[in-house]
Amino acid sequence: MKIAWHDSTVLWRIVRGLFWTLLSLGVASFINFILIQYAPVKPDDFFASQEILTTAQYDQAPVSKQSLFQGYVHFLTRIFTGDFGRSQLYDVPVIDVIQDALIVSLTLSSLSLLLSYGGAFLIAWIYFISGSMGKKFLYGALSVLQSLPKLFVALLLVIVFASNQDSGLFPLESPPLINDLHLDRWDLFWNASQKFILPTLTLFFAYTPKVFLYFVGMMAVDSRLQNHLFWRGHGRSKNQIFWLSESRYLLSTLLWRVVNDFVFLIFTYGFMVEIIFSLPGMGFLGYRAIISGDFDLFMAIFLLFSVISVAFNFILRALVPTYEQVKL
Amino acid sequence: MKFFFPHQKRMRSTLISFLLINGVCLLWMAGFRESGCLAFHPQPPSAAYLLGTTTNGFDISFILAKSIIQTLWFLTVTVSLVFFFSVTLGIVFGYFCRLNFWVPMLRIIEIVNSIPLLMVLVILGYYHWLFWGSFLVLMLLFKWPLCAQVSQGLAMSYRVTMPVLLAQMNGISDLSIIRRYFVPKIFKALIPKVPTLAVSLFNTLTIMDFLGYSFLGSSMSLGSLVAEGKDNLYAPWILLSGLGGLLIVLLPFILLSFSVVSEGSKAGERCQ
């Protein structure tokens, strides 16, 4: 049945979705705001055993004379007028700092996500065409790899590639300053991309097993097994069945997890990987903002996290009517 | 208690590994004699110090034995609590669907997921508000969606099955139906989620340790050992020991995931 945009159910779904999205954003940002407000922000005072002051008390800002809710509304008004404040840490507008960091984080997570999906898809293909022993081996190996802590994977890579420090490949620290001004585009690209290699590899090894196990779960659904038996009965090989039917199904099911994966890679895995490899993305920036008490920068990162995660979910809910039924 | 352990035979390996790790660590700690700081440089593995020493001259094997027990027990307790809490919540919200009208669980999950847990933990850790109790509460608050969503979905599908409808028509109370029908079925179905939950919690625990916000005891923890190893790559035994320790802690959960998978595949073969 064709669903028209003037259909009341579609409109109602969108209005309801918008309402819940705004409410979710409001609640999430309010919780973040409370956390920041009650966190003591000057580490030096704290370690000098002085009286611990909250952000509001320390700044003696108008916020401190208001109630918590008024302070929150004041903050939101500032945000809606486009004033994200100024970073104390970098002494530039917060929006500028976030722009740079966001590019790094988006590059890292997009690359890793694409590689993970590609890798998992290829392994799923091998899994599908292999015999029972091969299936057991692949499933077991990937299960173990999935169980490994991401810190473990990242540090194993550090050990493996530490010996390549001298050759200039996979540096663990930022590349040294080059005085030679005759750099071509390739050199510039290579210098910029070197920093991404190990973090991307870490995220690839950490995330591919997750996606693969998801694919295996999807292939084991009753309807897929019946489909498989049907085509086998018609004399098709496993390889043909995979590329004709299973591949399309697997790729279409990625729709249900792409948003969560992306947000997860940026803010959860990315946070850890960026700190380990000192990559100046959102996670690393957030960490530095916390330990230096940079309220505006930190609040902007928190808010961005909430906006991305809630808004992406809203878009999917609006576009795909059965999104939540599948999630359940 | 049978429904908590649906694959008893296969789960013996998990239990045995858990007890074995604890036993070996306890024995090692009992037989350990502290000889104080050796020197301010790391010693490589030798007969006297099996896994070498840290940069401060402490015996790595003792640090490992102590921290593995602490981490393993803490992880087990946390995983159990989060699992029980989330599954119970999912069952209640799935069975009493009307509740979702007043308190929509998916929206709450969305709100919970839109708060960066690691950053919240770093705030608490940085200002010394993080201890095992606060960590446990935060894990309960932030990790329950992992199982609750699936549990709710299962409960919603089971509540329209024939046995449940018949029981409701015969006047059996909701609590009794949940206890006798839903809880066993859903716990069984969600046992494979336990290793995933454990890995997720362990990831959070290790990264906090790694960043220096350890709260399990006053001595060095696994994550801080790994962090020290990363900063002193010229002494690779520190990092390798730390990573080995991480693997040992996860071993019971890896075995659990294997046992569930192999049990599932055997059941599949029997069906065919």
pLDDT tens for B164-189 read 899 988 888 888 998 888 888 888 88
- What distance in Å separates the CA atoms of residue A141 and residue B63, rounded to the nearest whole number? 30
pLDDT band at B39; cut points 50, 70, 90 = low
Q: Which residue from B minimizes the CA distance to A327?
A: B149
Query: SS3 letters for A221-287?
Result: CHHHHHHHHHHHHCCCCHHHHHHHHHHHHHHHHHHHCHHHHHHHHHHHHHHHHHHHCCCCCHHHHHH
CA distance A79 to chain B (A): 18
All residues of chain A having their beta carbon less than 8 Å from the beta carbon of residue B118 are: 267-268, 271-272, 283
More confident residue, A50 or A164: A164
Average pLDDT over residues A153-182: 58
Closest partner residue to B257 among A25, A27, A147, by Cβ?
A: A147
> Which positions in chain B touch A136 (Cβ < 8 Å)?
265
Contact between chains at A143 and B254 (C-beta distance less than 8 A):
yes
Q: What is the pLDDT of residue A174?
A: 52
CA distance A147 to chain B (A): 6
- Examine the pLDDT at B128 and tell me if it is beyond 80: no
Amino acid at B257: S
A143: chain B residues, CB-CB within 8 Å: 254, 257-258, 261
The predicted pLDDT at position A122 comes to: 94
Please determine, for the modelled complex, whether the ipTM score is greater than 0.90.
no
- Chain-chain contact of A46 with B127 (C-beta, under 8 angstroms): yes
Instruction: Verify whether the Cβ–Cβ distance B106 to A268 is below 8 Å.
Output: no
Q: Which residue has the higher pLDDT, A287 or B35?
A: A287
Tell me the residues of chain A between 83 and 102 that have a Cβ less than 8 Å away from chain B: none
For residue B161, the SS3 value is coil
Alpha-carbon gap, residue A100 to A119, rounded angstroms? 29
Which of B123, B199, B210 lies at the smallest CB-CB distance from A147? B199
Are B246 and A287 inside 8 Å of each other by CB?
A: no
pTM: 0.78
A162 touches chain B (CB under 8 A): yes
CB pairs under 8 A between A and B: 133
**Could you read off the pLDDT of B183-229 as tens digits, one per residue?**
888 888 888 788 888 888 888 888 888 888 877 665 678 888 888 88
Q: Which of residues 191-210 of A touch B (CB under 8 A)?
A: none
Q: How many other C-beta atoms lie within 10 A of the C-beta of residue A207? A: 24
Inter-chain residue contact B226 with A155, CB threshold 8 Å: yes
Q: Could you give the C-alpha distances from B24 to A145, B21, B54, B256, in angstroms and in order?
A: 25, 5, 21, 20
**Least Cα separation, residue B239 to chain A (angstroms):** 8
> How far apart are alpha carbons B228 and B216 in whole angstroms?
17
Categorize the per-residue pLDDT at A321 as very low, low, confident or very high, splitting at 50, 70 and 90.
low
Q: In the beta sheet, which residues pair with residue B59? A: B53
Quote the distance between the C-alpha of residue A299 and its chain's center: 18
What are the two backbone dihedrals, phi and then psi, of residue B46, each rounded to the nearest 5 degrees? -150, -175
Q: Which of B123, B223, B254 sits opposite A144 (nearest CB)?
A: B254
**In this predicted model, what pLDDT tens digit does every residue of B45-56 receive, in sequence order?**
887 777 888 887
**What are B19's two structure tokens?**
């007890």
Residues 269-308 of chain A whose Cβ lies under 8 A from any Cβ of chain B:
271-272, 275-276, 283, 286-287, 290-291, 298, 301-302, 305-306
- The pLDDT-based confidence of A225 (bands split at 50, 70, 90) is confident
Place of tokens 């599932």: B264
Contact A149 B254 (CB under 8 A): no
- Alpha-carbon distance of B224 to B210, in angstroms, equals 5
pLDDT at residue A115 tops 90: yes
pLDDT tens digits along B49-96: 778 888 877 888 888 888 888 888 888 999 999 999 999 999 998 888
- pLDDT band, very low/low/confident/very high, at A45 (cuts 50, 70, 90): very low
Torsion of CA B74, B77, B78, B84, to 10 degrees: 170
A327 vs B123, B149, B211: nearest CB: B149
Residue of A nearest to B109 (CA): A24
Confidence of residue A163 (pLDDT cuts 50, 70, 90): low
The label of the residue with tokens 């940069």 reads B55
Q: Which residues between 226 and 255 in chain A have a beta carbon less than 8 angstroms from any beta carbon of chain B?
A: none
A39 closest CB neighbour out of B123, B195, B254: B123
HEC profile for B84-121? HHHHHHHHHHHHCCCHHHHCCHHHHHHHHHCCCHHHHH
pLDDT tens, position by position, A192-223: 777 888 888 888 988 898 899 888 888 877 77
Q: Does A310 touch chain B (CB under 8 A)?
A: yes
pLDDT value of position A118: 94
Q: Residue B260: pLDDT above 60?
A: yes
Give the gap in angstroms from C-alpha A239 to the nearest C-alpha of chain B. Answer: 22
Report chain A's C-alpha Rg in angstroms: 24
Bridge partners, A93 (sequence order):
A86
- Chain A residue numbers touching B250 (CB-CB < 8 A): 147-149
Residues 6+ apart with CB under 8 A from A42: A53, A58, A293
The minimum CA-CA distance between A103 and chain B, rounded to whole Å, is 19
Strand-pairing partners, residue A40, are A54
Residues B97-113 have a mean pLDDT of: 81
Per-residue CA distances from A70 to A40, A121, A128, B152 (Å):
20, 51, 58, 37
Interface test with B, best of A152, A275, A282 (most B CBs within 10 A): A152
In chain A, what residues touch B156 (CB-CB under 8 Å)?
A: 328
Q: What pLDDT digit, counting tens, does each position of B232-242 carry?
A: 878 888 888 88
Q: How distant is the Cα of A150 from the closest Cα of chain B, in angstroms?
A: 7
